[in-house]
Amino acid sequence: MKHEQLVDQFDKTFSDKGSEEPDPQFLSDTEAVREWSYLRMAVEGVQEMGLYEQVESVKTQWMAQQAAAAVPQAGAVVRNISRIAMRVAACVLILAGGTAVYKYMSTSAGHIYSEYSQPYDLNTNRGVAAQDEMDEAYRNKNWTAVTELFKKKKDKNNKTYFLAGMAALESKNYDDAIGMFQQVIATNSQSGGDYFEDEAEFYLAMSWLARNEVKEAMPLLDKIRADKNHLYHDVVVRMSTLDLRIAQYKELK
Amino acid sequence: MKVAGKFSDTELIAAIGEKESLNQAVLFLYQQYSQSTSSFIINYGGSQQDADDVFQETVLAFIGIVKKGNYRMEASIKTFLVSIARNIWRNELKKRQRSDLREKKFESGRDQQEGDVSSLITSLEEKKQLRELVGKLGEPCRKLLQLFYYENLSMKEIVDHLPYENEQVVRNKKYKCLQQLIAIIKENPSIALQLSEIVK
């Protein structure tokens, strides 16, 4: 059979059926079957490329919209001001002598975390008795069980993500904890809700401090400090700003 | 920002299946799910660029799964997308031969959902290679073949889109382009062998 005929037959089948099943009459012709297979690969490739370009086009449109909607950031200026402030703080420390040097040497993000972190009490904070295994494991401080139960849980929500995050934090798996708390915040951001939002923000900041990444924790701590209705406002207000700045300076050094 | 129509999960699946609504569906996927999905990638050592690339591959894979009728809505679309993205990123990490602590943690964080998804996205790498082969075609050929085989335009409609005199010229050109593409595929027998599995 001529190749042109094969392609015509392929196109006819393609347009008629929306699929590319070979006509039974070709099945006895080994060469035709092989060529048919190549035709299918070629068309599959064209369709894949078409879809890829369509998605790429929408992605570009979406990114352009995002860029246009973005509010001009003053981050660079703020950062510069912060750096100047930190340098001034460092100079003051040096001038203040031994006590200040000791203060400087002994201050770290990890130290701040240890001082201000607090266990999350499921019953106290939510006022609801634990109803399921994950709650029970959490109340028993069985962090491994909490993590395992979270993995098995089919209906994950902000609460389960948060408890899994707390279990990870308690187990010093800070990367996992950060991921879980960020998930809660991202979910609320999309849904417009606030379920476990305050808790996630505070413990996300704590997780960053535990990882000695003050730069990541600061925006969250500033937000909580500025919000008097935030559940953890009082805790954050008690934190020494100087300690945080020193830790941040040491991180940036 | 322009907001894509609000879709329920069911509506979104239906929209992906319709040529006319696919763009809206993809835009909705980006608006609703790209941030949370990307945060997972970044948390596991990826850059923002990695996260963008992985999400794009995720969307492509998801569309492919939906169009083949393999998305059974046992998990929410968000959960499903995150699972796909994690699988893609894990494969990417393997390709980069990174077996550091992050990847070990990543592996330990897998759940059943991801195992299920893994079987659905096995041909992603082959499809990527196939796209690269199509990319070797010249722009006129690629455009012509896409109009016919992806946009499903008739020869007559293609005459209106491309600078060809009549339908017969388009038909001849399309045949030559198809031959050219098949020749490119045949020049890569190892890829062709893998591809023959996914077009069965």
User: According to the model, what pLDDT value does residue A253 have?
Assistant: 61
User: According to the model, what pLDDT value does residue A126 have?
Assistant: 44
Q: Are the C-beta atoms of residues A192 and A225 closer than 8 Å to each other?
A: no
pLDDT digits (tens, 9 = 90+) for B137-182: 988 999 999 999 998 888 989 988 888 889 999 999 999 999 999 9
Which of B6, B130, B133, B144 is best to mutate for the A interface (most A CBs within 10 A)? B130
Domain boundary among B73, B88, B122: B122
Distance (Å, rounded) from C-alpha A23 to C-alpha A11? 11
User: According to the model, what pLDDT value does residue A218 have?
Assistant: 87
CATH of the domain at B170: 1.10.10
Compute the CA torsion angle A212, A216, A221, A224 (nearest 10 deg). -140
User: According to the model, what pLDDT value does residue A127 have?
Assistant: 41
Note the helical H segments in chain A. Answer: 3-17, 30-69, 75-96, 98-106, 109-116, 122-126, 133-139, 143-152, 158-170, 174-191, 197-210, 214-226, 233-238, 241-252
User: According to the model, what pLDDT value does residue B63 have?
Assistant: 94
Residue B65 lies in a domain: yes
Residue B71 lies in a domain: yes
pLDDT digits (tens, 9 = 90+) for A61-88: 888 877 777 655 555 555 666 677 777 7
Which of B32, B48, B182 is best to mutate for the A interface (most A CBs within 10 A)? B182
Which residue range forms the structural domain that includes residue B27?
A: 9-122
Same domain, B109 and B142: no
| Contact residues for B134 (Cβ-Cβ < 8 A; gap 6+) | A45, A46, A48, A49, B142, B181
B40 touches chain A (CB under 8 A): yes
CA geometry: angle B161, A20, A57, nearest 5 deg: 40
Which of B125, B149, B176 is best to mutate for the A interface (most A CBs within 10 A)? B149
Residue B177 lies in a domain: yes
Q: Give residue for tokens 């790209």.
A: B34
Task: Please answer yes or no on whether A55 and B182 come within 8 Å at the CB atom.
Answer: no
Same domain, B20 and B61: yes
Same domain, B98 and B163: no
Same domain, B111 and B157: no
Domain boundary among B79, B96, B122: B122
Same domain, B118 and B133: no
Minimal Cβ distance to B145: which of A14, A46, A58: A46
Same domain, B95 and B39: yes
- Specify the CATH number for A109-239; select among 1.25.40.10, 3.40.50.450, 1.10.150.110, 1.10.10.10: 1.25.40.10
Chain A contact set for B64 (CB, 8 A): 51
Same domain, B116 and B133: no
Domain parsing of chain A, residue ranges: 3-59, 109-239
The whole-chain average pLDDT of chain A stands at: 79
Does pLDDT of B2 surpass 50? no
Task: Please answer yes or no on whether B199 and A49 come within 8 Å at the CB atom.
Answer: no
Q: How many domains does chain B have?
A: 2
CATH of the domain at B73: 1.10.1740
Chains A and B form CB pairs within 8 A to the count of 127
Same domain, B117 and B140: no
Read off the amino acid at residue B89.
Answer: W
pLDDT confidence bin for B52, thresholds 50/70/90: very high
Neighbour count for residue B19 (Cβ, 10 Å): 10
Task: Please answer yes or no on whether B178 and A14 come within 8 Å at the CB atom.
Answer: no
Same domain, B99 and B159: no
User: According to the model, what pLDDT value does residue A11 have?
Assistant: 84
Task: Please answer yes or no on whether B105 and A175 come within 8 Å at the CB atom.
Answer: yes
What region, left, alpha or beta, does residue B22 occupy, with left being phi > 0 and alpha being psi -120 to 50 degrees? Answer: alpha
Domain boundary among B78, B107, B122: B122
Q: Give residue for tokens 């020869």.
A: B155
Q: Are the C-beta atoms of residues A13 and A21 closer than 8 Å to each other?
A: yes
Same domain, B179 and B109: no
Same domain, B60 and B117: yes
Same domain, B117 and B28: yes
Residue B4 lies in a domain: no
